[in-house]
Structure 1
């Protein structure tokens, strides 16, 4: 079955790509193995030059690349431009710091000398979603490539143009042919790719079902896996918080559709915040993502809209109230109204689930401990945002919320310096920072005798 690149704002077909059969896949994996072997032999200085060239290409071609992202995912053009710029910044960060991050680590000893040498693991398979196709790829592949590995990139079927552009950029930057390969395969061949002896590890950013299946497969084959799975990210707002800044932040998150899912507000300010939120959500402009003034574009696929529609209905059935929005928008494209829900029972399945789209659930907390309890009342733990000016509350929130990333008086945001990854059923392992570059390296201990 061919891969179709569809414009989610109109439903029009942009391009169609033939998928590979198993023989073509195996040939590309063999090529990736050759590239990994060459990558390992090349000096780090060569990879650094390639990475700086990659950053330059992203800068020079950012406008056109952002256009492709928006055409395939429905992200606003402003958000897509920021996505490309973040990818370039990540290339520059690792180009500046890779020597330090990959340096051997001296180990203390008595009468002996020992150190840990970081060695590349080989070919790494990445399975990625349609959301933020460039950023999810670059935050994974930049540290993997600079460490001397090769990448097999299996994007969602809806973003083949983004995937192929990333492959072309990496090749044009000077990395060996096959150092990054965009896999034009159906989902049924992903496990076939993972089973190949040349593939040493897998990283999954996607649904919990996909993560479970591929982690189980990798575990059976004794291959490393890293999982970045969805979250039900909370935002806690206490009375001392900057209310204007907190509301602006959650509105920005709703517009992006990929950040905060639950806003937990202290009862002292709950009614006032709710009123302001309703007005702010209703003022969000929905429409053509190519227009600079658009704040909310379509979702990337029609299936994503259908799932979001079902989740909102489930929330209402459980006892929740739709404060504004709540329905799929009539007409062409995968549009869903920016939505605010309240009174969804904490013990309902939908309140503890992950949403993907312009929807936020509003909860009332009686005090700090109640807010922490609501935030943790989910099996997921990707990220959290906590808002208070009280130092004692800040420490209790930072230590009390179960998440892989906690932002204080700000939204969680990926930064190449900061490791990101989930807790609980939001996955394990890290990307970015020093931890990210070492996920797919072998810690080889070297002992030097007398």
Structure 2
């Protein structure tokens, strides 16, 4: 894929960039390594001050940066501005909490191990490579950068090739905030150049948010180099509705959960598993609300669903729908590529999917919802767990026993009860099964890329 800004609403190429060659890649890795020697010697207080300054810059520049996100990947303008604000909040969160998260932890009874004192400490690893996707191009990158920099690591960002201007904006953000030169840099490289960066001995770890295929490739390269990885991969999250649920709230939230970011979110509700007692009413109201969404120019504040980020992504989504319909699925809303320029797809609801439809197992990365009828709670959990993914989940029930049962029964990195899955700086984020391993955010996220060092004193 070319490194270029191609406006998804028009299909027009707005800017192209030359990939960094071997000499520039070497220069940037060397700079990241040098910056690490400086950064690890600074205090938590100093790094916190720089993070807060970066957050202030994000807030001050939110309007222009949000428009950049719209042009590069088609996010509706209001959602783009919200992403910038959320990213600033994430920077401030680690400025406030990093020191406590990484404080030394003394052993309560050192005599038990024959010591006068014993404790553990967290130390930064060095330069960390972050391979990031385009769908939340600022938030995804900064939810790595904030804890990494707060811990004293440096970052190398290999961003998606269709958001190069966002990558370059982030490239300069932390230096402008006061961090040492080279503390956080973008690498304008294609996927084929990633393995060589991972192999470089100065790069100490890798984090990736992206597809399952990309995760397997990066994990293989990192495994060969014996380097730590955190992988946040795909998801086909279940959104389960039981008879005791507040149906008004469930329907309204389901629409948002499926179409936020034009349906291009790993943690979006994708499979709507509804108890037979409320299936007909839910499916009717859900399809009506999906069909009524305003699709259009993502720069128009009235737009609710914009284009998909890439033509390939739009075509892949259309193929999944065509496959499902060919195998007997019923279209309750949408189901077609609209006759307009850009990479749009109609918000779509499908029902009665056959077990051999690709959509049953594969992730629909766009505004396409799959409806499933469940006979009871056990059947709903069976359907929810039948995919290879296990990122997050949403369960709607006002029955306390059902709530507890689903929390225990769902194979997922998170369960949201009577609410839509959202990532928060305060909560660990990540999945199981083919959705990856490791955690981002909260205390768990900052500790992923540190050396937990044991100290024993006689």
TM tier relative to shorter chain: over 0.9
Contact preservation (8 Å) 2:4, 2:15: yes
Q: Which residue of 1 aligns with 2:207?
A: 203
- Number of equivalenced pairs: 449
In the TM superposition, 1:41-440 aligns within 5 A as 41-108=41-108, 109-110=110-111, 111-256=115-260, 257=263, 258=265, 259-346=268-355, 348-440=357-449
C-alpha distance after superposition, 1:138-193 (max 9, x if no partner): 11111011000011101110000111111111111111111111111122111111
State the shift of 1:331 in Å: 2.1
Deviation of the 1:349 alpha carbon: 3.6
In structure 2, the residue matched to 1:25 is 25
Q: Deviations 1:241-267 (Å, cap 9, x if unpaired)?
A: 111111111111222112111000110
Whether the aligned pair in 1 keeps the contact of 2:338 and 2:345 (CA below 8 Å) is: yes
Query: Could you tell me whether the CA contact under 8 Å between 1:9 and 1:289 is conserved in 2?
Result: yes
Q: Residue 199 of structure 1 aligns to a residue in which SS?
A: coil
Bigger mean CA deviation after superposition, 153-162 or 100-109: 100-109
Greater shift in the superposed pair: 414-423 or 245-254: 245-254
Question: Is there any run of 5+ residues in structure 2 with no aligned partner, and where?
Answer: none
Q: Provide runs of 4+ in structure 1 moved above 4 Å.
A: none
TM-score by length of 2: 0.96
**CA distance in 2: counterparts of 1:348 and 1:414, whole angstroms:** 30
1:365, 1:218 → 2: CA distance?
A: 41
Distance 1:346 1:398 in 2: 26
CA-to-aligned-CA distance 1:28-60 (integer Å, 9 cap, x gap): 111111111111111221101101101111111
Unaligned runs of 5+ in 1: none
Distance 1:307 1:170 in 2: 36
Whether the 8 Å contact between 1:402 and 1:423 is mirrored in structure 2 is yes
**Partners of 2:358 and 2:83 in 1: CA distance:** 32
Question: Secondary structure at 2:277's aligned position in 1?
Answer: coil
Kindly indicate whether the alpha-carbon contact (under 8 Å) linking 1:419 and 1:433 is maintained by their aligned counterparts in 2. yes
